[in-house]
Amino acid sequence: MNQTMPSNPNRPRWLNALGLITLALFGVGAYLSLVVSPPDVNQGQLIRIMYAHVSVAWVCFLAVIASAVFGMLFLWRGRKIHDVLAVASAESALFFAGLTIIGGMTYSKPTLNTYWTWDAKLTLTALLFALLVGYFIVRGLLEDPQRRGRVSAVIGIIVLASLPFNYLAAEWFRTLHPAKSINLDGSGVQMDPTMLQVLLFNVGVAAFAFLYFLFERVRIGRIEIAREEALEAPSGSAEVVRV
């Protein structure tokens, strides 16, 4: 695979189109969540927080998985583009983890009369956020590109290992977090069909946002790589750049 990266700083039209589509879908998702979806029998209008909270949480998990996979590919093959993809995914994971915590705190205030409780689910999400912050702190401290890429890839794998505990916290620990309404073990869905459709639509919107952030960050990373390679051409280029 040729690792020469394009240095054209212009954002491609398809990426602009993806951003506009994502923005339009976000508007539709907000309308469905606030207007079309019925209130919950027990939680009333408060259920509308779920559409944003669950969506960003699921996509946060997706971004963590992507970052770990790309980090593993870098450990295996040592290609610069894999490091760029891992960092881009980790940045999105950090962003969506922050939104997940904000959503959980927003839900906790009207239900528990406090923004923060040491609930297992919320605490594990905060730990996930802290690990992702540590990921970027480590990248800032290490000067050697190869070592920086390898160490941050290992941290990405550690973050990935924390996901099962986070996902199953409501079943494994004593927690105030509502039990899952969508089970991946084949036991079915305990949710109103309209609510399920609105939720899945918003998950798709969050996934579109993740893809836009990913492609845009990779585009920038490729430009940085191309410029560093141009500067270091006489003495040889490094394997990765700090992105």
pLDDT in tens, 177-217: 555 555 544 454 567 788 889 999 999 999 999 999 999 99
Query: In angstroms, how far is the first alpha carbon of the chain from the final one?
Result: 21
User: In whole numbers, what is the pLDDT of the chain averaged over residues?
Assistant: 83
Type of residue numbered 220: I
The predicted-structure confidence for 25-50, as pLDDT tens digits, reads as follows 999 999 999 999 888 777 778 888 88
Placement of tokens 């845009």 in the chain = 216
What's the pLDDT score for residue 214? 96
pTM: 0.82
Mean pLDDT (whole number) for 71-86: 92
Of 164, 78, 89, whose CA–CA distance to 132 is shortest?
A: 89
Residues 6+ positions from 188 with CB-CB distance below 8 Å: none
C-alpha span between 241 and 239 (Å, rounded): 7
Torsion angle in degrees (nearest 10) through CA of 32, 184, 60, 201: -20
Please, are residues 37 and 198 in contact by the beta-carbon 8 Å criterion? yes
Q: How far apart are the C-alpha atoms of 31 and 41, rounded to whole Å?
A: 20
C-alpha 179 chain-centroid distance: 22
Query: Is it the case that residue 109 has pLDDT exceeding 70?
Result: yes
Q: What are residue 40's DSSP bridge partners?
A: 44
48: left (phi over 0), alpha (psi -120 to 50) or beta: alpha
